[in-house]
Chain A
């Protein structure tokens, strides 16, 4: 994972630009251009993070957010993947699901939030459902297009050697679409995190989003920033890990190989 980041083009430039932003932010506050009240400062946020680690606040919020994220994502992978597979095998299933996919694509997912609050109340259940709703579309869409658009030349060659249905699936379609499936997972991870945090902002008793909204309302910018930074770091770690996996699995598509 670390190696993958370092191998990418010009990681040095990225590091430098990041350092410059932090320095400007710190300096703007230290030299009095902007009040710390509005934007806090890197050093304040760092001290706040240390404090939250020591008193266990961070662990408590992080574990709640991660739990909701993982359960929501798991449902999205299971249900989105299963429906995607069924739709790739049967045009009828695909046509039945089409309108729902259009709704999902053309409407903001967060608009469904009040409905689930009415059904499930504020809290964990609704947050997990929001994570699921945010993440399920790319899983479904990528599973469907990946399996369905398997190169017909490969299918025909396999059939000519006597491949049966499960051979075609496990030995041709699935490996052929592995890069697309992982790309779908990468999108879903980012969206599930969005869903969890958004839902936590509106109504929760714990979690990083809850922490941000709680401190935000009390105008305690530093504490709010600390949770924001943790969320950003989570997002970056997840998507970069999956991007690295994607590059590995898809190396045969473009890659230099050995």
Chain B
């Protein structure tokens, strides 16, 4: 079967997103004035302290929440609702607990009305690709956290999206499993280089995975900096101790430290 040519250039301009405060007409600005261009086939990671609007930004790209102002365009098309050109990797709570591994991957294909003839086979191919061939008939509660995230990745990839949106997909995993999953994710990504946007609060993860790291700040959520990661691919664990990596890590830590200091100041005043 022929995969379609890789599309997936995202252009976000002056985007703001608000939430209505519960039981009132006031609005709360979660993200303000965000502009960012993500080239097709690039891997962008987003870091920032909790509550700075990372998830909000990602949900807007997925078309799951409305924009207050500004624009998000995917290959020139305005994003207003979910579409087959984007797929989201959630945390593990989003797997259907009554379906098997294979059934969960198949679920995405069913929803996008893939032809019935090859739907089972295609789902199985992606289950194998994430290394779960032997667990196709297991239910989510019979899997480890890492395995569940593999299912989530397979489910997102099998619909052949142009853009992969990931919101702290490894957030609930232990450090060792996270490393393995990052390696695995890059191995899969290198095959067809879909545009990937990956939210995390782990600095090392952001540097290791990304071509660029977007640093977000809070009150309201905005972009503070975009750092180009000039490390060769494929990335290896040996790079974690390279001088360049250590330097990126220090720069990013300073941002987070400043964030924390600001937060403590606010708390001291209040």
Interface residues of A (CB under 8 A from B): 151, 153-154, 156-163, 167, 171-172, 175-176, 178, 252-253, 255, 257-258
Bound-complex Cα distance A189 to B231 (A): 67
Q: A162-B82, A162-B83 are in contact. Are A157 and B141 (CB under 8 A)?
A: no
C-beta contact mask, B123-167 vs A, less than 8 Å → 1, else 0? Answer: 000000000000001111110000000000001000100000000
Bound-complex Cα distance A26 to B159 (A): 70
Q: Of the 9-residue stretches B39-47, B85-93, B183-191, B240-248, which lies at the interface with chain A?
A: B85-93
**Contact status A252-B82, CB under 8 Å:** no
- Other A-B pairs beyond A158-B107, A171-B107, A176-B96, 4, CB < 8 Å: A158-B111, A162-B83, A171-B110, A258-B142
B94 at the interface (CB under 8 A from A): yes
Supply 6 A–B pairs (Cβ within 8 Å), ascending by A.
Answer: A156-B94, A158-B111, A160-B87, A162-B112, A257-B141, A258-B137
**Contact status B97-A252, CB under 8 Å:** yes
B202 at the interface (CB under 8 A from A): no
**Contact status B139-A161, CB under 8 Å:** no
Bound-complex Cα distance A176 to B96 (A): 8
Interface residues of B (CB under 8 A from A): 62, 64, 82-84, 87-88, 90, 93-94, 96-98, 107-108, 110-112, 137-142, 155, 159
**Contact status A162-B138, CB under 8 Å:** no
Q: For B112, give the chain A residue with the smallest CB separation.
A: A162
Out of A154, A160, A252, which one reaches B64, CB within 8 Å?
A160
Contacts of A159 in B (CB 8 A): 64, 82
Contacts of A161 in B (CB 8 A): 82, 87, 107-108, 111-112, 155, 159
Contacts of B94 in A (CB 8 A): 153-154, 156-157
- SS class of chain A's interface: helix, strand, loop or mixed? helix
**Contact status A157-B88, CB under 8 Å:** yes
Q: For B97, give the chain A residue with the smallest CB separation.
A: A252
Contacts of A153 in B (CB 8 A): 90, 93-94
Q: For A159, give the chain B residue with the smallest CB separation.
A: B82
**Contact status A157-B82, CB under 8 Å:** no
Contacts of B139 in A (CB 8 A): 252, 257
Contacts of B108 in A (CB 8 A): 161
Bound-complex Cα distance A178 to B64 (A): 27
Contacts of A253 in B (CB 8 A): 97
Out of A167, A171, A178, A257, which one reaches B142, CB within 8 Å?
A257
Give B22 Cβ to nearest chain A Cβ, in Å.
Answer: 15
Give B19 Cβ to nearest chain A Cβ, in Å.
Answer: 15
Give A38 Cβ to nearest chain B Cβ, in Å.
Answer: 52
Give A214 Cβ to nearest chain B Cβ, in Å.
Answer: 49
Bound-complex Cα distance A160 to B87 (A): 7
Contacts of A175 in B (CB 8 A): 96, 98
Give A158 Cβ to nearest chain B Cβ, in Å.
Answer: 6
**Contact status B64-A156, CB under 8 Å:** yes
Q: Kindly name the residue among B84, B93, B107, B111 whose own CB sees the greatest number of chain A CB atoms within 10 A.
A: B111
**Contact status A160-B93, CB under 8 Å:** no
Q: Kindly name the residue among B138, B139, B159 whose own CB sees the greatest number of chain A CB atoms within 10 A.
A: B139
Bound-complex Cα distance A253 to B96 (A): 11
Bound-complex Cα distance A178 to B142 (A): 20
Out of B93, B107, B138, B140, which one reaches A258, CB within 8 Å?
B138
Bound-complex Cα distance A252 to B96 (A): 10
Top 9 closest A-B pairs, CB basis? Answer: A157-B94, A161-B111, A252-B98, A160-B88, A161-B108, A252-B97, A153-B93, A153-B94, A163-B111
Give B86 Cβ to nearest chain A Cβ, in Å.
Answer: 8
Contacts of A178 in B (CB 8 A): 98
Contacts of A255 in B (CB 8 A): 141
Bound-complex Cα distance A175 to B108 (A): 16
Q: For A175, give the chain B residue with the smallest CB separation.
A: B98
Contacts of B140 in A (CB 8 A): 252
Q: For B142, give the chain A residue with the smallest CB separation.
A: A257
Bound-complex Cα distance A24 to B209 (A): 75
Contacts of B82 in A (CB 8 A): 159-162
